[in-house]
Amino acid sequence: MKVNIISLTCCAGCVSSFLNAGEAFLEILSENFRIVYSPTFIDLKEIPKVDLAIVEGGVRTEEDEKLIREVRAKSRLLVALGICATHGGITSLGDIFSVKKFLEKEYYLSERTQLPELKDLMYPIGNFVDVDYYIPGCPPMPFLIIHALKSIVSEKQPLHHKSIVCTECNRKIIPAKLDRLHGIYEKEATPEICLVSQGFICLGSLTRDGCGAPCPRVGFTCFGCRGPADSLMYRSRDMYAFLVKVISRRTGVPEEKIRAELYKTPFIFHTFIFSRFDRFKARERII
């Protein structure tokens, strides 16, 4: 299987995560998986026709759109790798500003003519082309990437994770009676008890499972990098209201107080505020 690896607007962390798979990465290379184009690994200017394209990053510039359309036209299958590609991801934080304000704030020292032409917003690639498989995560865990690619190479359907991170976290959910919420650096988390029950804002109850809950397992809150779980996407639920209710139920803190707290830290919720969920070809294709 001939493979292209493409990077659009992103931090390149997803391809690095793929490399972090170590021996499993080498193993897949020996299994009929040949990378023929990748600006990270190979010096080749022309994008060849292939069986599979793996794309990290989203569409923020006119150049990105041109590139993703060319890549789609030259690939039999296309995988969106990482939440920038699948939903818009952390790079969507730029959507807080208009393009004019964004350029003034971040690039006021640059020559404008040297900058790529920006789109009004950051878009996931599914807004422009058909995507066959989505692997959300920031970055996706190496084992998830390897599982997905091995399944695709052997023409099997990869696992579709549709539950929430809480199902993979071994912390105990208990209702508490707290006065207020806490920042993650404000106090040390008690092991074994759900972080929300301790007053921290953990997004595990909204977020798609599959990562193995590495963050809450070591005492750090889940920031939702796998995007919303199926249950939240299907029923067009108000995710913000759902999170406020979950936190209030587990902490005893009134909902208005939680809303005020979340309002102060919108970046915690960025994956859910700015990402887009309406262009998925099929939910079952989300790995």
**Residue ranges that bind ligand SF4, judged by CB under 6 A:** 10-11, 13-14, 56-57, 82-84, 89-90, 138-139, 165-166, 169, 171, 173, 194-196, 202, 204-205, 207, 211, 213-216, 222-226
- The residue among 9 and 75 lying less far from ligand SF4, judged by its C-beta, is 9
Q: Least distance in Å: CB of 168 to ligand SF4?
A: 8
d(CA 117, CA 112): 9
Q: Least distance in Å: CB of 274 to ligand SF4?
A: 12
Q: Least distance in Å: CB of 101 to ligand SF4?
A: 22
- The residue among 11 and 121 lying less far from ligand SF4, judged by its C-beta, is 11
Q: Least distance in Å: CB of 172 to ligand SF4?
A: 8
d(CA 234, CA 241): 16
Q: Least distance in Å: CB of 221 to ligand SF4?
A: 7
d(CA 265, CA 287): 29
> Are the CB atoms for 128 and 69 separated by under 8 Å?
yes
Q: How many CB atoms lie within 10 A of CB 116?
A: 11
Structural tokens at position 286: 């989300």
Helix (H) or strand (E) holding 122: strand 118-123
- The residue among 118 and 250 lying less far from ligand SF4, judged by its C-beta, is 250
Q: Least distance in Å: CB of 190 to ligand SF4?
A: 11
d(CA 231, CA 4): 33
- The residue among 12 and 77 lying less far from ligand SF4, judged by its C-beta, is 12
Helices 255-264 and 239-251: crossing angle in degrees, nearest 10, is 120
Q: Least distance in Å: CB of 67 to ligand SF4?
A: 15
- The residue among 158 and 228 lying less far from ligand SF4, judged by its C-beta, is 228
d(CA 234, CA 124): 19
b vs e for 178-213, b when ≥16 Cβ sit within 10 Å of the residue's Cβ? eeebbebeeeebeeeebbbbbbbbbbbbbbbbbbeb
Strand 118-123, strand 59-61: pairing: antiparallel
**In this chain, which residue has its C-beta nearest to ligand SF4?**
204
- The residue among 56 and 65 lying less far from ligand SF4, judged by its C-beta, is 56
- The residue among 13 and 158 lying less far from ligand SF4, judged by its C-beta, is 13
